[in-house]
Structures are given as C-alpha cells and as structure tokens.
Structure 1
Amino acid sequence: MIRTLLAAQRTELLPRRAMCSGVQLRVCPGRCLYDEPLRLQVSGLSPGQHVTLRTELTDEGGELFSSLGRYRAGSSRELELSRSPALEGGSFTGIEPEGPLWALKPRDPLRRLLKRNVQSPFQLRFSLHQEPSGTLLASAAQERGFMGEGVTRLLVREGRVRGSLFLPPGSGPFPAVIDLYGTGGGLMEHRASLLGSHGYMTLALAFFDFDDLPNNLGGLSLNYFQEAVEFLRHHPKTNKQEIGIIGLSKGAELAMIMASFLPGIKAVVGISGCSANTFVPFPCDGFELPSLEFNADKLKFTEAGEVDLSETLDDPTDPAFQECLIPVERSFAAFLLLSGLDDKNWPSDLYNKQLAARLTEHEKDVESYYYPGAGHLLEPPYFPLCKSSYHKLLGMPMLWGGELRAHAKAQEDAWKKIHGFFSRHLKGSRTEHSRL
C-alpha cells in the first residue's frame, strides 16, 4: 500500500517538474544603472496560469526590501511587464513595468533605501512562483549600479571643502553640477554618481556631520559654499566655468542662497525646498541671513508615533519674517522648482510658488512643477517611496508623505525634467538627455 502511494505521488510530481523546467524568467540587461527602466519577460507558462513575481533587495545594512506582483498568463503563454497587467492582491496593480522596483518595501517601515557605497551595485533578485502552491518556477538576478562604465570617483579634501567628485569618462570639458542633500547630514552620493554617469561632472558636497566638518547646522556659512563653487568652477575639466546646483530640502534652500549671492551659477534645481532660510541664521559676506523660527507647539504626531513638521515653521510670507526670505531675484541663474503636494515635512509647494512668483515678477527664467500624491523625498526614478524614516538630527521618526504610485510617477517625470533642464542650460542642448 505504501509503495502504491509513493508511486502515485511521484507520478503527480512529474508534470509539475516538467512545467518548472520549461519556464524562463529573463531580466535584461543583467547590469544597468539604477535609473534605467526594467525589462522583464516570462515564457513557457500555461495559458491562464496564475503566478507571483517576487522581487528582493538587501541593503548595505542587511535590511530586506521586497515587492510582490500577481499575474495571469495570456494565450501566448508569456508575461511581459510592459504589456501584462498586475492583478489585485500584490504590491501594485495594472501595467507597471517598473512596479517591482518602486513598490519595494522594507521589513522595518522606518527604513529608507540609501546607497552608501556607490562603487558597488545593488543586487536585485527576482523569483517566479506558482499560485497558490508557491512552487518556484524560475529565478533571475540583476545588478543596478550608480557609476557607469568609465566614471571615476575622487574624494575631495580641497581647503575646507569636503565631498566626492564624479568624473564622466573622457577628457572633457564637462558641464558641472553641485549636489546637496538635507538635514540628515553626511555625504550622500547616489544622485551625484548617477548624474556623473549621464555626463555631468558632479560634486556631492557635504556640509555638516562628515569628516572634519561641524556636526550640526550651526557651522554653516556662505564662505564654505563659495569655496566649493570656486573649486568646481576652476577645475580644468569644467565647461565654461558655469555650474549648476541641485538640492533637496535644506539642500534646495542652500542652492537658492548660493545662486543669490555667488557668481558663476547658471542653473538651479530646487526639490522640496523653502523660500526662506530655516533653522539657523546663515552668515554671509558682511551680514547674516536670519532664519524662520521653529514652533514646537505645532508638532503633530501620527498614531504610529511619527512626527509631522508641516506646520511648525513660521510663515515666510508674514511681514515679520521678510528678512528671512532668500533674495533669489538677485540671481542670474535659471531655476527649476519641483515639489510634491503630499509633502509632510513642510508645504514645499507653497514655498516654491512664492519663489516662482518672485522670480517671474523680476523676469527671471523659472519653471515649476507640482506633483499630486508625491511626498518630500523626491529621489531618482525607481527608488521606493520612503513615507517616514528615523531622522538622525531630530532623534525621532519623521513623516515625509507620499502615495506609492503617484510618488513613483513623480520621480520618473522629475528626473526627466532635471536632465532636460540641465541639458538646456549647461550643455546648450534643446533636447532632453538621450538615455532618458
């Protein structure tokens, strides 16, 4: 009797093994930059077969990010993410070729996906499973990197300037960009390295809590940023000594200040910034730019304990705080302003509208875009939404905002606009970057 049952079980397994061996999961290319589209195909399925695509990424700290897509094979026995809609019950629905990437979620809900060592790629793992049994049908892997072929990274310790410089391959000269992040401090290189891979000589500039720099925002001054601008302007591979700046959050605010007071800045991208100086007074050449005050009584907390700072700053349009406004009308640069309408850090859309109105009033070159459902942390495309994370400077969980799909689409569009803007103003091209 036992032999009969074992024989029957072996007979049942044969078709399943044959089905597994015939399924192929292809991810193309095997290596690419993180901001490149995902091309994934499955063949060898049965018509109408229900499967689950699992995507996994382990960050440098060992945190697992994963997403799940549920699909049904058509009569062609194939799935192609650019044509096959994801079904309900997964991390995303509809025709979303890059959904497996931007829908990645960490086990720890306060974990933000960052890349500390941009000289090594992220390893993406894809596995296809039969529903509902969970049987593994096929698997594939892909490396998504940040430094394209021939790009070099140089650690910068020039005078007081601290950061890293990404040089595209070739003899140059190259359009040059300074990249600034926010109040998290340290050195953030993932966006700068991608810009370097797209032909921009990019300086990822640290301004506190890195190397021998001050460990808080109180050490900021215009002189430091002027030194960084002069370093990049006079680099032998800089094109025309004209540079661009891209900044997020406090970095956007600093970019506006630099463009207002320093020469040689041709183009500025401000992402989720403020129209006034914030948090600490900012020493300039012979005077000090006051800062908006922080009102702790206006702090709000979610049920999960995340802090919402969106109403804690004084209103920069209040006449009492006019001296805190960044005088962008002094600048000769062109401006691109980007913000999400679900920004929970501060109302960056209102701040950008104030900036755009003043720039327009003074007949300056400005473009501004506002994204419904996007949060504060607008990153390069396919980075997963970070709705909240632990903020080192504040010492508590911080709410950033954003809705999954809307935020992902905003990041894709913003990245194209950033490349188009820098291409026009730093490269002299009227078309967007060819790889985007």
Structure 2
Amino acid sequence: MAVSLSRLLDKAVAGLLRRGLMRPFGIRRGASTAAAASVCISPSPHCLFDAPVRVKVSGLAPLQEVTLRASLTDETGNLFQSSAQYRAESSGELDLSRSPALAGSYSGVEPMGWLWSLAPTQPFKRLVKRDVLTPFRVDLEVLEGHGAPDRLLAKATNERSFLREGTRRIPVREGRIRATLFLPPGADPFPGIIDISGTGGGLPEYRASLLANHGFAMLALAYYGYDDLTKEMKEFHLEYFEEAVNYMLQHPQVKGPGIGLLGHSKGGDLVLSMAAFLKGITASVTINGSIANVAAFLHYKDVTLPPLGFESKRAKINKSGIVDIVDVLNNPLEGPNRKSLIPVGKAEGQFLFIVGEDDRNWKSEFFARTASDLLLEHGKVKPEIICYPGAGHYIEPPFFPLCSASIHFLVGLPTLWGGEPKAHSLAQDNSWQKIQDFFRKHLM
C-alpha cells in the first residue's frame, strides 16, 4: 500500500512540475544533499557478462533530476558510453527496475539499458572481448541534472566476467587443431559443442566461455588468421574441422554419442558444411549464416565447393560513406551459383537457424528458409527457424551493444550490419536462451 501511494505521489508531483505549478526539489548547482548519494549493484557488483543486475541509487533529493552515465574501455583503449536522464522518486531513490529513463541512449524502464546501449565514442568500433581471463569493467556515474551534467553525485563499478569460478580454460594444440577448450566445473561428461566464428579470423573465445558457464564443453575453434594456420581466406579443407569433431567425440569429458555445432556468419556456412559431410554431429545452430559456401574454396576429399559469386556493383554507399552489401551475393539457387550450394539435405541431426530480419550483411532469412526446404526435400526433420525483427547481423550473447556498422574484414570499408538497439538487445537475450535449450534437448 505504501509503495502504491508513493508512486501516486510521484505522478502527481511530476504533473505539477510539467505544468509549472511546482518547482523541483532537485539540488541547485553548488548545493549539497543531506545524505551522500550511493549506487548499489545487486546481487553483486561482480558477475558474469550475460547476467542481469539490479541498479539502485539512494540518497538523492525527492524528484531530483540526474543523468546516469555508463563507461567501458575495451582492451585496445576504445571507449564505449551510454547516458540516460532520470528523475528520482519522492523517496529520493532511483531504481532502474521500475524507474523510467526520460531520454538519452534509451528510454522507458530498461534495467540493463545502460549496458546494451553502449556506443563507441569513435565510429565503426565493435565491442569484442579478447582476453576472457579478465573482466570488463563498467563504470556507472550519477551526475546532477539533465542537459550537460558535470557534477558527480555517486559512482560504482560493475565487473563483468567471462568465466565463473571452476570453469577451466584449456589451450588445444593437437595435430592441426588450434583451439581453446572450456570445461564446466566437475568431472562428469558434458554435452560438447564446437563454436566457429566469422570472417574476422583469429580465436574469439568469449561466446564459448560464456556457454561453458552454463554446463557445456565448448571448443572455440580457429580456422585461419591464428598461430600457424593460414593467414588468408582463400581455401579451407574440411578435414581440419573433421579432426576437431573427432577430438571432441573422443574427449573423456564430452558426452556422446554426438556433438553440437554453433556458427555465426561465415562460421554458419562452415557449420552446415560440417553437418552435411561429417559424422558424429547431432545438433547444429547457425546465427545469420549462409546456405552457400562463401569467401573461400572448401575442399573435402574429392569434393570442392567454390565460393558463391557476387557483383560488387550492387553495393550501395550512403551519405555517411557506409557500404550496404546486402544485395551483393548472387542467388545460390540460380545457374552456376548452385555449385556453391551446401548439400545440407545430406545432413543428419537437428537444426536451429537464428535470423536477424535487419541483417544487412546478406539475406539470412532467405538462406535459412532455403536450408529448410532442402532438408524437407530429403525427408529430414523440419528445422526450427527463429526470426527477430529489428535484429542485425552480429547477434551476440546478452548485453553486448549493437554494432550497426564497422570495418568489414573483406570489404575493407565501413559496412552496414543493421539492427535497432532495443530490438537487437531483445533478440540477443531471447536467442541466447533458445540456443541453450536447443542443445540441452538434443545433446543431453
């Protein structure tokens, strides 16, 4: 009852403020509060990156106007920030789980808006975690007033880690394999998954490490641009990926009889190729992947899939100099382009396709539905396709900020990835759980 009366009072006073019939209780510049403001992050200021937290500010004046600013500096020195304007409740408290943001990087009641709305202060930078052994530190500052606030009232830091206590990170260099294995705590076998990233190359570990915290044995697999692997995207041999599959199938802490595959972008078409040609794969997930082999020749025994052709003249450049390449690739169902089509109809196991409907890298929904048609034509189980309106190409784990444009590794220019921040954030949160549910269902 007390809570509801407090909220009614807040609404009444806010109405008087809007009509100019009442002056705000907020502190004037240079004045001081009766009690110092403080920021509380619960259940703990130290958490996993994909875990939500509750942010509360106490000790403000009744209905005081403040700005909440979040700042994160990545491992290469790039700064990402968000800010939103708030008005404290009549109690002098600000609770992001119920207090709406009035304007700024996000609006409305958004308990984690300060994190998912982070944006780079320099254009075309994407937030990527390079060292999963260290956390990201997010500084939360409460500043006096709206507009151009400069007086700091309170500050706290949220440390967001990528490995929970007991999760093991094991570098793998066996035969040709260059990878990192993540094992959850305990000695029991876990469902095993190989995680394959896109055209950026190297060995990204952040998605695999976060999934390992949820009970999966994860192998983050490099395939070029790392260690002694090829430095260029010209041709790949599926035997390398087959070696990684066999490594997981034979590992004592990987539960059989089959493993799962997870791939994003170029990693998505590699996942489909692995499922089509290799044995021991029970469940496959692609995130905005292609049904055709792209960017490099793919060889397996006596079979070669050429890269899908493209027409660079179909690219568009907007007034900001950002390239839109969504129409560049040829249709893999037409003419000689069919040589690049992955024979996914041969694959065994279950499939989940995660699709961002605003993906501007390529036509992910068309690719997913084409894969579904091919599977059904060959008498296979209908795959699950989940389409997310307003989501772009880089569908990441929860709370990673949207990257709507950055330098494309192959294009060499700022390239549009698509997406709207709020819708993209919802897609990341929902798909993260859907991916886990899918693998638990088919690998447990």
2:94 corresponds to which letter in structure 1?
Answer: L
Structure 1 equivalent of residue 73 of structure 2: 58
Structure 1 equivalent of residue 414 of structure 2: 397
- The answer to whether the 8 A contact 1:333-1:365 is kept is no
Distance 2:298 2:30 in 1: 71
- Asked if 1:170 is matched to 2:186, the reply is yes
Q: Deviations over 1:299-323 (max 9, x none)?
A: 2212222222211111012143223
Q: Deviations over 1:223-256 (max 9, x none)?
A: 1110111111111111014211110000011001
1:369 to 378, 386, 399: 386
- The answer to whether the 8 A contact 2:197-2:264 is kept is yes
CA separation of 1:84/1:13 partners in 2, compared to 1, >3 Å: closer, same or farther? closer
Structure 2 equivalent of residue 274 of structure 1: 290
- The answer to whether the 8 A contact 2:33-2:60 is kept is no
Distance 2:62 2:30 in 1: 15
Deviation, 1:109, is 1.6
Structure 2 equivalent of residue 420 of structure 1: 437
2:258 to 211, 217, 242: 242
2:127 to 113, 122, 130: 113
* SS of the residue 2:109 aligns to: coil
* SS of the residue 2:141 aligns to: strand
- Asked if 1:92 is matched to 2:138, the reply is no
Deviation, 1:364, is 1.6
- Asked if 1:323 is matched to 2:342, the reply is no
CA separation of 1:44/1:360 partners in 2, compared to 1, >3 Å: closer, same or farther? farther
- Asked if 1:408 is matched to 2:425, the reply is yes
Distance 1:39 1:18 in 2: 24
- Asked if 1:336 is matched to 2:352, the reply is yes
Distance 1:23 1:214 in 2: 55
Q: Runs in 1 of length 4+ with deviation above 6 angstroms? A: 12-15
- Asked if 1:130 is matched to 2:144, the reply is yes
Deviation, 1:294, is 2.0
CA separation of 1:47/1:165 partners in 2, compared to 1, >3 Å: closer, same or farther? same
- The answer to whether the 8 A contact 2:235-2:297 is kept is no
Structure 2 equivalent of residue 23 of structure 1: 37
2:401 corresponds to which letter in structure 1?
Answer: P
Deviation, 1:365, is 4.4
Give the gaps of 5 or more residues in structure 1.
Answer: 1-11, 428-436
Match runs of 1:150-299 below 5 Å: 150-299=166-315
Deviation, 1:409, is 0.9
Deviation, 1:17, is 2.8
1:76 to 79, 91, 94: 91
1:39 corresponds to which letter in structure 2?
Answer: R
- The answer to whether the 8 A contact 2:70-2:81 is kept is yes
RMSD over equivalenced CA pairs, Å: 1.7
* SS of the residue 2:31 aligns to: helix
* SS of the residue 1:342 aligns to: coil
- The answer to whether the 8 A contact 2:100-2:110 is kept is yes
- The answer to whether the 8 A contact 1:234-1:241 is kept is no
Distance 1:322 1:194 in 2: 37
- Asked if 1:353 is matched to 2:369, the reply is yes
2:283 corresponds to which letter in structure 1?
Answer: A
Distance 1:325 1:421 in 2: 25
Distance 1:210 1:280 in 2: 17
Q: Deviations over 1:374-396 (max 9, x none)?
A: 11010001000001111334322
Distance 2:338 2:30 in 1: 75
Deviation, 1:258, is 0.3
Identity of aligned residues (%): 46
Q: Deviations over 1:164-213 (max 9, x none)?
A: 11111111201111001111111111101101111111111011111000
- The answer to whether the 8 A contact 1:118-1:146 is kept is yes
Structure 2 equivalent of residue 6 of structure 1: none
Distance 2:271 2:409 in 1: 22
* SS of the residue 2:199 aligns to: coil
- The answer to whether the 8 A contact 2:69-2:84 is kept is yes
Distance 1:112 1:79 in 2: 30
- The answer to whether the 8 A contact 1:247-1:255 is kept is yes
1:42 to 30, 48, 57: 57
Moved more, 51-60 or 356-365: 356-365
Give the gaps of 5 or more residues in structure 2.
Answer: 1-26
Deviation, 1:345, is 0.6
- The answer to whether the 8 A contact 2:190-2:216 is kept is yes
The TM-score normalised by the length of structure 1 is: 0.92
* SS of the residue 1:225 aligns to: helix
- The answer to whether the 8 A contact 2:141-2:154 is kept is yes
CA separation of 1:14/1:84 partners in 2, compared to 1, >3 Å: closer, same or farther? closer
